[in-house]
């Protein structure tokens, strides 16, 4: 009779696990196998990737035209105004753009302030933005918040831009949907053109991109650059119409679940947080008013995700994700510091919990940026 051996695949890449050749897919050290196959096994390669947390292996798409235009900003030592959408920004900044603007003065503007509950103070959000930009070596010269229905005085921001630019040009950058046009419209409300130039949109020299030019004086302009790609956001991985569910239109919703080891929270079929190890505790999920979550046991996640795809009882549901091969998985061991930590899935939601040495695992669409850091809302 032939001998039978169970064939085990890597949970992340699906390659058949083997201990014979490091160069071939699915290599796992013999020592790991000898200790008993882990319940959720990974090949060495995926395991290492998983440990290289916080998006370092992500592919950020960078528009070459933006880089070209930023070269001019560098040549003229201009002021950069970098807009980020406070809801979807999880701290992962495009490294090519970071490299370019690092040496310049950068003013950060966080948009969609109005989507946060009033209990969230400006100083919490400013500190969060400051920490995320400082992490990549950018020390913003100022951080401003802006929202649709808030009392933020745009005049203050104009004053701020004037002070910081010191007669130089301003280059306004930001991802798709970060609120650049909304800001420009606000700026233009009280704008009086005292220059000899017109406001115009023109193809920027040497590129194929349209750039909006607003004259600030006879020798300086505000340039609104083309959208930076949001290639690491959930929004760029799912069907366009799911944005209606994912992007908050009203105040961001915070939902709490009290769960412990062996449990998980699914967010539609777009993310899942597993509690691998740790005491029961409260997990907060911050998301749009239409996004739904469900607490389930770890073992049932796969089944429930499959059922959810058919029956759509927990939205948003994308048709694009069929098996574990379509997702990435990361593991975090939180410090035992009793401080609030966030694990943020770019564009979709963030999970928040107190650090008590627990081990958490996050499943999310391949290529989406996830980041762990101290909470935005502390």
**Chain residues that interact with ligand GTP, rule: CB under 6 A:** 111-112, 114-115, 146-148, 174, 176-182, 227
**333 contact, one of Mg ion, ligand GTP, none, CB 5-8 Å limit per kind:** none
Applying the rule CB under 5 A, the residues between 149 and 208 that interact with Mg ion are: 181
Q: In the complex with Mg ion, which residue's Cβ is closer, 27 or 82?
A: 82
What's the closest the beta carbon of residue 198 comes to ligand GTP, in angstroms? 21
Q: Which lies closer to ligand GTP via its Cβ, residue 148 or residue 282?
A: 148
Question: Please, where are the H alpha helices in 26-153?
Answer: 30-34, 44-51, 64-75, 95-101, 122-135
Considering beta carbons, is residue 201 or 219 the nearer one to ligand GTP? Answer: 201
Token readout for 317 is: 């549901």
User: Minimum Å distance from CB 150 to ligand GTP?
Assistant: 8
> H-type helices in 213-253, by residue range?
243-246
Task: Return the number of the residue (225 or 317) whose C-beta is nearest ligand GTP.
Answer: 225
Query: Is residue 7 classed as helix, strand or coil in its secondary structure?
Result: coil
Minimum CB separation from ligand GTP for residue 4, in Å?
Answer: 56
Binding partner selected for residue 160 from Mg ion, ligand GTP, none, CB under the kind-specific 5 to 8 Å limit: none
CB of 186 to ligand GTP, least distance (A): 9
CA 166 to chain centre: 32
- Among 273, 244, 247, smallest CA distance to 260 is for 273
- Cα–Cα distance for residue pair 377/253, rounded to 1 Å: 13
Burial of 286 (0-12, 13-18, 19+ CB in 10 A): buried
Query: What are the C-alpha distances in Å from 79 to residues 75, 209, 226, 233?
Result: 11, 20, 17, 26
Least Å distance, CB 338 to ligand GTP, is 33
Query: Of the two residues 41 and 174, which places its CB atom closer to ligand GTP in the complex?
Result: 174
Q: Which of 17, 14, 46 is nearest to 34 (CA)?
A: 17
Question: Binding to Mg ion (CB under 5 A): which residues in 288-317?
Answer: none
Q: How far is the CB of 191 from Mg ion (least distance, A)?
A: 17
Q: 94 or 224, CB closer to Mg ion?
A: 224
Cβ 210 to ligand GTP shortest distance, Å? 11
Structure tokens at 141: 């010269």
Nearest distance, CB of residue 228 and Mg ion, angstroms? 11
Query: Nearest distance from residue 183's CB to ligand GTP, in Å?
Result: 7
| Other beta carbons within 10 Å of 100 | 20
User: Toward ligand GTP, which CB reaches closer, 181 or 307?
Assistant: 181
Residue spans of alpha helices (H) in the chain: 30-34, 44-51, 64-75, 95-101, 122-135, 154-165, 180-189, 243-246, 301-311
CA distances (Å), 163 to each of 49, 133, 141, 156, 158, in order?
A: 44, 21, 11, 10, 9
Q: Of 92 and 358, which CB lies nearer to ligand GTP in the complex structure? A: 92
Q: What is the DSSP string of 213-228?
A: EEEEETTEEEEEPPPB
Angstrom distance (rounded) from CA 233 to CA 192: 37
C-beta closer to ligand GTP: residue 174 or 268:
174
DSSP 8-state assignment for residue 268? T
User: What tokens does 202 get?
Assistant: 């023109």
- In this structure, the number of other CB atoms found within 10 A of the CB of residue 18 comes to 17
Q: Which of 148, 282, 266, 347 is nearest to 274 (CA)?
A: 266
Selection from Mg ion, ligand GTP, none that 114 binds (CB < 5 to 8 A by kind) is ligand GTP
Contact residues toward Mg ion (CB under 5 A) are: 181
């Amino acid at each position: 009779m032939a001998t039978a051996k169970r064939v085990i695949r890597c949970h992340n890449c699906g390659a058949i696990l083997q201990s014979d050749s490091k160069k071939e897919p699915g290599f796992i050290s013999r020592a790991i196998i000898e200790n008993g196959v882990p319940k959720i096994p990974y090949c060495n390669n995926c395991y290492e990737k998983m440990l290289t947390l916080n998006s370092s292996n992500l592919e950020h798409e960078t528009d070459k035209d933006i880089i070209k235009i930023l070269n001019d900003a560098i040549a003229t030592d201009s002021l950069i105004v970098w807009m980020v959408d406070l809801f979807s920004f999880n701290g992962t900044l495009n490294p090519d753009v970071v490299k370019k603007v690092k040496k310049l003065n950068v003013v950060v503007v966080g948009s969609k302030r109005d989507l946060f509950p009033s209990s969230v103070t400006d100083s919490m959000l400013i500190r969060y933005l400051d920490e995320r930009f400082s992490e990549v070596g950018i020390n913003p010269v100022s951080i401003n918040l802006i929202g649709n229905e808030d009392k933020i005085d745009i005049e203050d921001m104009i004053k701020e831009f004037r002070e910081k630019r010191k007669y130089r040009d301003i280059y306004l950058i930001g991802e798709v949907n970060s609120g650049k046009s909304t800001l420009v419209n606000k700026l233009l409300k009280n704008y009086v053109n005292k220059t000899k130039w017109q406001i115009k949109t023109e193809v920027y020299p040497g590129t194929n991109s349209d750039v909006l030019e607003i004259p600030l004086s006879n020798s300086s302009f505000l340039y609104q650059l083309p959208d930076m790609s949001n290639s690491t956001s959930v929004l760029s991985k799912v069907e366009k119409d799911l944005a209606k569910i994912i992007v908050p239109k009203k105040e961001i919703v915070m939902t709490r679940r009290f769960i412990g080891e062996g449990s998980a929270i699914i967010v539609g079929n777009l993310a899942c947080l597993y509690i691998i190890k740790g005491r029961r505790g409260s997990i907060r999920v911050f998301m749009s008013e239409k996004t739904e979550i469900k607490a389930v046991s770890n073992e049932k996640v796969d089944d429930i995700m499959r059922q959810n795809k058919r029956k759509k009882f927990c939205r948003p549901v994308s048709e694009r994700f069929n098996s574990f091969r379509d997702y990435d998985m990361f593991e975090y061991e939180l410090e035992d510091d009793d401080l609030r930590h966030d694990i943020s899935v770019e564009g979709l939601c963030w999970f928040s919990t107190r650090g008590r040495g627990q081990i958490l695992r996050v499943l999310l669409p391949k290529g989406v940026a996830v980041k762990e850091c101290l909470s935005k809302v502390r």
